Every structure is written in structure tokens, then in C-alpha cells.
Structure 1
Amino acid sequence: MKRSLGMAAVVVLIMALIAGCGGNNNQASNEGGTNAAAGNNTDAGNTGNTSGKKDITLTYIASQGWIKDAEMTLAKKFEEETGIRIDYQIVPADQYFNVLKTKLNAKEATDLFGGQSGQSEISLNYNVEKNAVDLSGEEWVQREDPLSIEQLTLNGKVYAQTIWDTGSSFVIVYNKQIFEKLGLSIPKTYEEFKAICKAISDSGVTPLYEPIADGWHHTLWFAEPGPRYDEVTPNLYNDLNANKKKFADDPTMLLALNQLKEIYDLGYFGDNAFSDTGADSAAKMASGQFAMTLAAQSLVNDIEKADPNVKADGFGYFVIPLADNQIYYINPGGPSKFIYSGSEHIEEAKQYLAYLAKPENLQYMLDNDPTVSNLNFSGLKDKYNPEQKKMMATYTKKGTDIQDYVNYVNPQWMDMGKDIVAMLSNAMKPEEVLTSIDKRRADMAAVAKDPAWTK
């Protein structure tokens, strides 16, 4: 999901972007590059210009890993057809939201900006009613997954476009050969999962590769099994949104955090989890030194690329079994494209989004992006492998993960990650992590003037 930048380029890029808040929005990052070409604008989307090519550059700021190569190829084709150039400005993930907020607050945002979806996210972090363009009338809205559109809607208006593999959630990718050698099977409870980890550890293999250094990844262990929390305590999600219950009140959330800490304390994440990074996941799994990792389902393709002798079909999937979870959690949101309300090129930006959302272009992105198995639009041909189909048949009950349903969770994702690190380091107790989440939720609700918190 992430691609690396040289450290020097990162520093220069961040300084350039922050300086760009003063007015110049045409800075291009080393990763995004320049997409210049020529041509005419025939069939460039429903809002296309019929009078000939335009000499316009649309600047687009996004977090590292959000813009895939297939989209960049389409951007070049779009320029060939319309003359409208897309200038990507890619920012390292751990710096992105600070840079974006600086630009939005200074009223100097780029023509398009990337952001995570989610109603509380788009309201609090991006203030879309002020900073983004209403896209409700665009044709592609009718073809995008309604659950994704719901995450982009505020007070009845749609403010962004999500093109993402929202159905292929982060799951535990496991080495089938190691499991078969040790006589292990997919766990249905936490105790079974813990026993599997012990058996693998006793065999001399590290059970789990967990890239805590990325700052965000380990939060998935707590957040993704959200539907299980809602199952054990019926209506929990709605009660949290109505401020009738708190995270600190829920025994299943506390259980999951305690179990996560137990897995860590038992050494099942290995000796270097705090310094391990997601960029190394494929190579680590290909090495055979680790038996499992929590990852995007496309990781199996990267593993085979890392070592062609290790085949993608040698890996299977199962859901995070903390708190005995057996629900396939769905994330209907994802990185999304917003048009800045202060842009001088709103119609051209709409034209670009319409172009990306054309069925043949969506299929091109799906077919040419090895990290996705499907996209959240109707009428596309998916690429689910046999193990994915097996997993989906195994976990017939599905539910939305907690960060995409419960308000004021996703905006504090990185802070939750810091709290969990503190918990694993014995600087915080699991109970304190939940209390900390509640405190930030209350603070955000106050800013949003949420009536559930003010009444």
C-alpha cells in the first residue's frame, strides 16, 4: 500500500508543500512526477469539453500509497484527450494530514485533495461543507457502492469519490505449508489462535509479522473486529453514536485489547515489531521466518514477487479472532478524492473524476493493479482468487468495521495507534486506552456541536 521515498526527497517535499501554502500549488513530488502529454478531448467524461484541448494543470495532493500506477497511466491518457494535466503531490503518510490541514486552513489547497472517507472524518478533518465541492449530481455516484457513498455524504450531499477495493479487508494471511506441517487449522476462537501461535513458536518460526513502526497498522487489530463487539452487545454501534455508551464501558473491547497485549507479551510478534515496517511484509513472509501477518489480501502476490519460488496460492486467509470474532468485517470507505471549493478549475476536476469512473477505466485500474481484487463500482469483473472465495464462503456473517460506522473513531486513528504502543510498552493499561479514545471522541463531538453530546 505504501511506496518509499528517499529521505532527502521527503524532507524537500514537505518543506515545499508547506511553503506552497503561500500560493504556489504546482509543486510536484518525486513520486508523483509530471504527467505531460498531448491530444484531443473526445469522450473524456460526461462533462467533457467539446471545443478542443485545454491548457490546464490540476494539482492533486495525496498520501503516499493512495495513487496507484494504473491511475497515473489513465491520467496521461486523460491529458492526451483533453490537454488537462494532473500534477500529483505525494506526501509521506505520517506527514500527510498535517500538511493537508495546513493548506486547507490557509485556503491554499490544491485543486483536488485526497482524504479518508467517513462522516466524522469528512466533517471534522476536512470541513467539506466549506472546503469541498458537492458532487451529488455526478453520473458516477449512481454506480458507486451505496455503502461507500454513505461514507462520503454529509447532510444529504456527496463530497468525494472513492475508487478502492473496499471489499477485500485486512485479514490474517497465513502460510499453508507451515500450518499443514504442524497439523494446524484455521482458528475459530482466540484460545485456538493462541494455541496455534504457540505451536508455531515452538517449531522455531515466529508466528506473526506485525509492522508497528508504521504507526497505523497495529490499530487494525482492535478496530477491525468491531462487528464482534456489536454482536456481543447488541446495538452497541448505535449507542456509541448516540452517546449512550462509551468505549470504556464495553467488556468485549477491553477483552480484545487484553488479548492483543497477551499475544505481544508472549513474543508472538517477534523481537523487532516496534521497528518492523509494512514495506518488508512480503519479503518477511516469503522468507518462511514468519507464519502469519495481518495484511491486505493482495499481499500474496507481493510475496510471490519477492521470491518466485514461493507461490501466492501457498497462502490462505482468516479473520482476526480476537474476542472470538468470526465475522468478516467490511471497510466500505477508503482514500477518496475531493475537489477543493476554492479551485479555479472545478469543472475540469469534475471532468477528471468522471473520466476515472468510466466503466472501461475502472476495469483498467482493476486489471492493472495487483493490489486489488475488486473495486467499489457495479458492473466490474473481479479478480478474487480461490482462497479469497473460500474465505468469503467460510465467513458468511459480515459487518462494518468500527471506524467506518462509529463517529469520531477514524479521525483519531494514529492517536489510537500511539495509545496501543503505550499499552504494549506497559506505559498504559488497556482500560486507559479505551478511556483515552472516549476523551478524544468527546472533544471531537464538542467541536462538531454534536447534539448527542450537548443535550
Structure 2
Amino acid sequence: MRRASRTRGIIALAGLAVTALAVSACSVGSIGGGDEEGVTIRLTNFNTEDAVEYSNLLIEGFEAENPGITVELDTIPSGSEGDNVIKTRLSSGDMTEVFAYNSGSLLQAIRPDDFLVPLDDEEWLSHISDSYLPAVSTDAGVYGAPSGGTTPGGVIYNKRIYEELGLEVPTSWDEFRANNQAILDSGVAAPVQQTFGDSWTAQLILLADFANIAAEDPDWAADYTANKVGYADEPALSSWKNAQQVYDDGFLSADYASALYDDGVRAVAEGTAVHYPMLAGVIGAVEQNYPDKIDDIGMFAMPAQDPENTRLTLFLPGGFFIPKSAEGAKLEAAKKFVAYTQSEAGCQALIDAGDTGPFANDRCAVPDDVPDAIKELQAYVDAGDTGPGLEFVSPLKGPNLPQLAVEVGSGIRDAKSGAELYDQDVAKQAQQLGLEGW
């Protein structure tokens, strides 16, 4: 079985809008067990290698179980070009019967209530994580099924050094600070690796803390979108304080200002640094580039101020959707296909295509042969101790976050100043989007 390097999660880091595996298909056939004949449905997915492999595996398995239905794959480019194709087809009523697209705020931009078929009555919904459903829903209903595994954000750590120093995985920020101090005092490695040479990586210490903010204040994202709260106020200000504190405490690696993402992967793998705030894509990168070190790698949720609020922040997969232009036998066939993607067989197709989870569908079991770090992350999912990244519950993300995160994380400005400037950055974006309350 091919193991994916999870590069899609890493590529998404620059914009931190995780685009999951997507699918597209066209088919002909009768609906399994029904009287219809010659039904053709089409499935649209992105043209990446992983997405195409996943799509073909789904089609092969689905057609075997539903010999009366043929599914044909139609691929589109990823990024803005593919985004425009989806929007154009939806508005013209020419969308394929099933298509893969983004979840979260990007989904809201295509007006799901106007263009998509609600799936609230589907049996497979009972198997989908509560953390995922808001990213494919509106007040009017649920519109999508997960089209891949999640990409957690948190802290990658070197388990070998933890064991040597007798450290425990922290569940609060104070415990994390204490661990960093113990590492610093030992002199064995840098406590925290940062890679500000790739400025997008500086965001993770902030963004991976969002599930903790939401645990403390469940209405924070809605209030943020409505301009009632901001990052310059608690509880969100604590994320910026964390970034400042790591610098002020002297915990950063000596090369933090110039190091790149690949340097961070190498540092935590080889043990020259112990912690790296990052997405779980590091696990796949270590497995690929430093396979003899993979057993040394673990990952935990960004610790909250209060351990009762510590949650694993998940950057969620996209979804499979059905347009309202699908009708009659085609609609029924499309629903069958989406249901198949969420079945145990559909989960196996996802795993065979290289996804290792954690998964938003409880029918998808993490394979036994994945790195232990993935199993550590799945434990958060199984316990319900997760929450979506902010971008999946709010359309607001200012373009200057990476640079401001670098400045606060480097001691150039303090946490309060950085958060205030970011709130101003977000206000400009909200006004451009025409959001109420701004």
C-alpha cells in the first residue's frame, strides 16, 4: 500500500485553506436494486495524483457494488482555476452530479443553500465527526461528506528526548513552558524550533490554538465574524502571548529567523530541537526523509491555558457535494455514490490512496502500520477533544498574519501590538467582503 507524504496539507499551509482530496465522475447504469436503467452520473475532482487515484478507487468499488451505474471521472485544476470552474458550472446549472470542493468559509462563498442538495436525511451522517459537520453546513442543512482525512495542527515533538528527560505530554501552557525550561536546562537540544525563513510557518502557534479558544468561548467565531470580539482581547490574545513568551523565555532554536520548513522537519527528527509548532504533515515528511527516526516523532495538541480546554485543532478536508441540477434517477445515483464514499469500503479506498488520518468518519480506522504519532492524534478525535480551525467557521483571515506572527515571535513587537494590527488587517478584509457589522 502506498503511503502518502501528506504534502497536500503542507502545500495548504501557505494559505492554510486545506484542500482535501476531491473527486469527479460521470457514470451510466441502473441504480443498484432499482428499476432505472442507463443512468449516467458525473463526478468532478481535482487533477492531483492523490485525488485521481482516490477517485478511481472509489469508482471501481462503487461500480462493482452497483453494476447498473457507470461513473466517469472528470478532473479540474486545483487552486483558483478549478475554483472558477466549479462556480461557473453551478451558476449555469451544468455542474456534474457529484463534485468535490472545499469545506468551511470557501464553501459558503458558493451559496450552498441556493445551489446544493441538503443531505440531512442520509444514514452515513451519524458516522461523521461533530467537528466536521459545521464546515459543510448552514442553518438550512448539511450539504457535504468528507472527501479525505483531517490535517491536525499542534506541536510535533521528539519522544526520544522526552523519555530521556522524563517529560510528560503537556496539557496546559504552563506545563509546556515547564517542559521547555527542563529541555533548556538540560542543554541537549533547543526547546522550540521555529522556521521564520518560511513566514507562513509562524502562524501555527496561533492557528493551532483556535480549538482551545473555542472550547473556552464556543461563540467566539460567530462573534468574531460579526465584529463583536477580536484577537486583541482575551481569550484570543493568549495565542499571541504564547508566541511572545516562547521568544522571551529564550526557548527558540538559534536559527529561528532564517530556518525553512525542511530545516524544522530535520531538526525535530534528528533531535537538535524538541518541539515544532506545525501541521501533522511533518510526520509524513519524517517518514519519507528520515525513516529511521519516525519512531522518535510524536504530536500533541497545542496546550490551552486551562487544561480542561485543550483541544486538537483540525484543518478539515473538503467534501463531496451534489448540485440541485441533479434530478430524478441521477440524483438518486449521486446520493448512492456519496453514501459509498462514507462506507467502510469507501474508507478503504481513501486509505489505499494513501491517507492515514485522523479521519472525520468513525468508519475509517487508522491503519495499524501508520506511525505512532498518527495514532496519538486519532486518540483526540476518538475522545471528541477536537475543534475545527478558524477558517472553517469564519471567512475572516487577514493577509498579514504570517508577517505579524514573525514579528511577535521574534520579539520585534509585543503580543498586544501584533494582535491589534491583525484586528485592523481583518477589518479591511471584512469590509472588502461586505460583512455586516463592519
TM-score, scaled relative to structure 1: 0.67
C-alpha displacement of 1:372: 1.2
C-alpha displacement of 1:183: 4.3
* SS at structure 2 position matched to 1:173: strand
C-alpha displacement of 1:448: 4.9
- Structure 1, gaps ≥5 residues long: 6-30
Alignment of 1:55-454 (within 5 A): 58-61=43-46, 67=51, 69-78=53-62, 82-91=69-78, 96-97=79-80, 100-101=83-84, 104=87, 107=91, 111=96, 113-118=99-104, 120-123=105-108, 125-166=109-150, 169-194=152-177, 196-197=179-180, 200=183, 203=187, 205-210=189-194, 218-229=202-213, 237=220, 240=223, 243=226, 245-248=228-231, 250-263=233-246, 266=250, 268=252, 271=255, 276-277=260-261, 285-296=268-279, 299-300=282-283, 303-312=286-295, 314-321=296-303, 323=305, 327-329=310-312, 331=314, 333-340=316-323, 347=331, 349-366=334-351, 369-373=354-358, 375-383=359-367, 388=375, 392=379, 398=385, 400-401=387-388, 403=390, 407-409=394-396, 412=397, 416-417=401-402, 419-421=404-406, 423-424=408-409, 426=412, 429-436=417-424, 438-439=426-427, 442-443=430-431, 447-449=434-436, 453=437
Q: Deviations over 1:412-432 (max 9, x none)?
A: 276544543455474893232
Checking the alignment, whether the CA contact within 8 Å between 1:171 and 1:317 is kept in structure 2 is yes
The structure whose RCO (Cα within 8 Å, separation 6+) is larger is 2
- For structure 1, which segment, 211-220 or 244-253, has the greater mean C-alpha deviation from structure 2 after superposition? 211-220
Corresponding letter in the other structure for 1:2: T
Residues 258 and 396 of structure 1: is their aligned pair in 2 closer, same or farther, counting only changes over 3 Å?
A: same
What is the CA–CA distance in structure 2 between the aligned matches of 1:305 and 1:194, rounded to whole Å? 30
What is the CA–CA distance in structure 2 between the aligned matches of 1:110 and 1:215, rounded to whole Å? 37
C-alpha displacement of 1:389: 5.5
C-alpha displacement of 1:336: 1.8
Checking the alignment, whether the CA contact within 8 Å between 1:133 and 1:340 is kept in structure 2 is yes
Q: Percent identical across equivalent pairs?
A: 18
C-alpha displacement of 1:142: 4.7
Identify the residue that residue 2 of structure 1 maps to in structure 2: 7
Q: Deviations over 1:337-358 (max 9, x none)?
A: 3345568996465454233223
TM-score, scaled relative to structure 2: 0.69
- For structure 1, which segment, 382-391 or 423-432, has the greater mean C-alpha deviation from structure 2 after superposition? 382-391
* SS at structure 1 position matched to 2:44: strand
* SS at structure 2 position matched to 1:247: coil
C-alpha displacement of 1:301: 5.7
Q: Deviations over 1:248-298 (max 9, x none)?
A: 452332232132134357472552666623x77655543334323335557
Residues 41 and 139 of structure 1: is their aligned pair in 2 closer, same or farther, counting only changes over 3 Å?
A: farther
What is the CA–CA distance in structure 2 between the aligned matches of 1:34 and 1:407, rounded to whole Å? 27
**Count of aligned pairs between the two proteins:** 406
C-alpha displacement of 1:177: 1.3
What is the CA–CA distance in structure 2 between the aligned matches of 1:328 and 1:142, rounded to whole Å? 22
- Structure 2, gaps ≥5 residues long: 1-5, 11-20
What is the CA–CA distance in structure 2 between the aligned matches of 1:235 and 1:84, rounded to whole Å? 41
What is the CA–CA distance in structure 1 between the aligned matches of 2:74 and 2:195, rounded to whole Å? 31
What is the CA–CA distance in structure 2 between the aligned matches of 1:211 and 1:76, rounded to whole Å? 42
Residues 153 and 322 of structure 1: is their aligned pair in 2 closer, same or farther, counting only changes over 3 Å?
A: closer
* SS at structure 1 position matched to 2:205: helix
Corresponding letter in the other structure for 1:256: S
Q: Deviations over 1:196-235 (max 9, x none)?
A: 4455467363444556677755434223323543566x56
Q: Deviations over 1:362-418 (max 9, x none)?
A: 244246635314x3334454448776459948x978353561785434xx2765445
Residues 254 and 213 of structure 1: is their aligned pair in 2 closer, same or farther, counting only changes over 3 Å?
A: same
C-alpha displacement of 1:320: 1.3
Corresponding letter in the other structure for 2:76: Q
What is the CA–CA distance in structure 1 between the aligned matches of 2:383 and 2:123, rounded to whole Å? 32
Identify the residue that residue 51 of structure 1 maps to in structure 2: 37
Checking the alignment, whether the CA contact within 8 Å between 1:175 and 1:291 is kept in structure 2 is yes
Checking the alignment, whether the CA contact within 8 Å between 2:401 and 2:422 is kept in structure 1 is no
